[in-house]
Structure 1
Amino acid sequence: MAYRLFEGKKHASSYWKYRISPSDDLIRQVLDFLEKRQCCITCSILGQKGHPFELAVDVGCGSGQGTVLLAKHFASVVGTDVSPAQVEVALEHAKEPNITYRQCVAEELPFADSSVDLVTAMSAFHWFDRPRFLQEAHRVLKPNGCLALLNYTINMELSYPDCCSHTLNQVCKEFYAALQPYRSPHLGASSMELYREAYESIHYPDKDWQECVWVKRPMPLSSYMGLMESFSSYQALLREDPQKATALSQDICQRLMSVMRVTSVETEVTVAVQYFYLLACKPKEA
């Protein structure tokens, strides 16, 4: 069963403003995995050396932050999402001429059999009907095409100069603990387990699993708070008790500023994000 969340225009706009996308290094790891499996390709597309690949499909693309990272590596990139509002926001920010967006469910992709070089899902796979999506990804992937499923944990770590990191992150942990009761039961205790199960269920002989890739990102404290407020658990609390949700967020923000000894929510902090990912290559003879 697929789950439909994050579909309102306001939430979609929040996604564009606050949601983080994989780092260039993470995208490079995905592309290196794909390139090694398609090393026999000797074409040159778009006048670039080497070979941008032909087609990438970013499923559950949301407002398109991850989709745009693929543009310079492919002749064509298509972002798909079930939410009209998310696609609308993605289109509002679309600048690259080789990117298009389509509204569709993840389990029924509008692409021909064996036509796609790379299928990605960045922080979205856990909401899909996972067995059906994996079957659909297998259908549309070319032989030697690759599947990349990336996500990150909510347990982020903050750091700030001349500030006790332990004290700072104790406040963050209290925030995460307060949101835990509002976490979707569909996700279980950890979404990482859903991805690990998918990795085990994929019968491709050539696959890779990484569960602890830390990426550090500088951002204003306000953006960290906006990111946390975009998560499904906070949104669930907000729907149930808007006053409680707002009070929780304001309290956490004030406590973080107190620990940092700053007065502006625009003060920049470093946020360490733990990513995990699954890469798999469809066999040539499939």
Structure 2
Amino acid sequence: MATFSSKTFNSALYLSFRPGYNADFYKMLYDYHMRNNGQFDTAVDVGTGTGQVACVLAEKFKHVHGVDASAIMLASAVQKPNIKYHVSNGEDLNMIPSSSVDVLTVAQALHWFDHPRLFSEVKRVLKPHGTFAAVGYSFVMLENHPRASKRVYCLGNEPDQLGTFWDNGRLIVQNLYRSIEVPLKNVERHYFPDESGSELPLMMENVTMNHFRNHIKTWSSYKNYSEKHPDRPDIVDKTVDAILEEENLKEEDEVTLIWPTVLILAENNA
């Protein structure tokens, strides 16, 4: 996560071009929480970044805490009267009283943490039967454009492109958190889309190709690569320009983006 904490990281770009989570994500989270007779008083979003999830939780909960190790990210965070942001690692939630939290979320950040330490804090701050939710997504795909999707995958994975420039933890989320043990009860793992077609994409957006270009430029690997090779042609522009030519697309043309996604839901043991 060091890249996102860098003083030179463009958190405003991140806020503008990172994908959001659609209503299905929050419905599944809230339905699971209500099955355990959960209340909607206090929520905590760990690894909140620019507050994309915290600001939606704030529509449902009386109090929301957004926690992130990066002051740079929080500088661009969405502000609401019932959200309080804290600069801290997810493994240290000392600002949150024990047994006070109804729902704790971790969106596209679970792979950054020391998991035994994180879950120790999760168990401490959640109320008995409180809900833990984690969502993570892998490389973006362009619906109906398999060649373009392959180019994006190669851009992110090939060692002569961005494959060796990711911060530690990328392989964990690329595998959709299958390697992470969740030491809570009633654990559910939902994968979108699944091979049977019964689970539709949880994260899907219709955007212009220009928006897609800027989304790729929020990758930590792109920032790391650009800083190491400032004199080389822009590697993202090279890939996107090739897609435009190959798919006969223009900057203003809209495409549908899909992210392979996992949603983990669990109930506190206490």
Which aligned pairs between 1:152-231 and structure 2 lie closer than 5 A? 152-154=137-139, 156-159=140-143, 165-176=145-156, 177=158, 178-184=161-167, 186-187=168-169, 189-193=171-175, 195-198=177-180, 200-202=181-183, 204-213=184-193, 214=201, 215-231=203-219
State the SS of the aligned residue for 1:62. Answer: coil
State the distance in 2 between where 1:183 and 1:129 align.
Answer: 18
Cα distance in 2 between the residues matched to 1:144 and 1:274? 29
Note closer, same or farther for the CA distance 1:272–1:193 as it changes in structure 2 (3 Å cut): closer
| Native 8 Å contact 1:126 1:194 kept in 2 | no
Q: 1:127 to 1:255 in 2, by over 3 A?
A: same
Aligned-pair CA distance for 1:267: 2.3
User: TM-score, structure 1 length as denominator?
Assistant: 0.83
**Distance in 2 between residues matched to 1:188 and 1:102, nearest whole Å:** 24
Pick the aligned partner of 2:255 from 262, 269, 277. 269
Q: Which amino acid aligns with 2:52?
A: Q
**Residue of structure 1 in register with 2:54 after alignment:** 67
Any stretches of 5+ residues in structure 2 without a counterpart?
194-200
- Cα distance in 2 for partners of 1:157, 1:21 equals 15
2:248 counterpart of 1:248? no
Q: 1:16, CA displacement in angstroms?
A: 0.7
Aligned residues: 257
- Quick one: structure 1 residues 24 and 114, their matched pair in 2 at CA, closer, same or farther if it must change by over 3 Å? same
- Name the CA distance, whole Å, in 1 between partners of 2:70 and 2:60: 26
Give 1:29's aligned residue.
Answer: 28
Runs of 4+ residues deviating >3 angstroms: none
| Structure 1 partner of 2:226 | 238
Amino acid across the alignment from 1:182 = F
> Which protein is richer in helix relative to its size?
1
Partner SS state of residue 195, structure 1: coil
- 3-state secondary structure, aligned to 1:230: coil
- The alignment-based identity, stated in percent, is 26
Name the CA distance, whole Å, in 2 between partners of 1:106 and 1:205: 21
Shift of 1:77: 1.1
Shift of 1:201: 4.4
Aligned-residue offset at 1:193: 4.5
What are the equivalent positions in structure 2 for 1:101-116 lying under 5 Å apart? 101-109=85-93, 110-116=95-101
Residue by residue over 1:13-43, the C-alpha shift from the partner in whole angstroms, topping out at 9 and shown as x without a partner, is 121111112111112111111111126x6xx
Q: Which residue of 2 aligns with 1:258?
A: 245
For residue 169 of structure 1, report the CA deviation from its aligned partner: 2.5
Instruction: Give yes or no for the alignment of 1:123 onto 2:108.
Output: yes
Structure 1 residues 189-231: Cα deviation after superposition (integer angstroms, max 9, x where no partner): 4425583333x341x3311112334232111212222221211
Q: CA deviation at 1:11?
A: 2.0
Q: Deviations over 1:169-195 (max 9, x none)?
A: 2332332333222233x3264425583
Preserved CA contact (<8 Å) 1:126 1:191: yes
Contact 2:213 2:237 in 1 (8 A): no
* CA-CA distance at 1:147 after TM superposition: 0.8
- Match for residue 83 of structure 1? 70
What TM-score do you get using the length of structure 2 for normalisation? Answer: 0.87
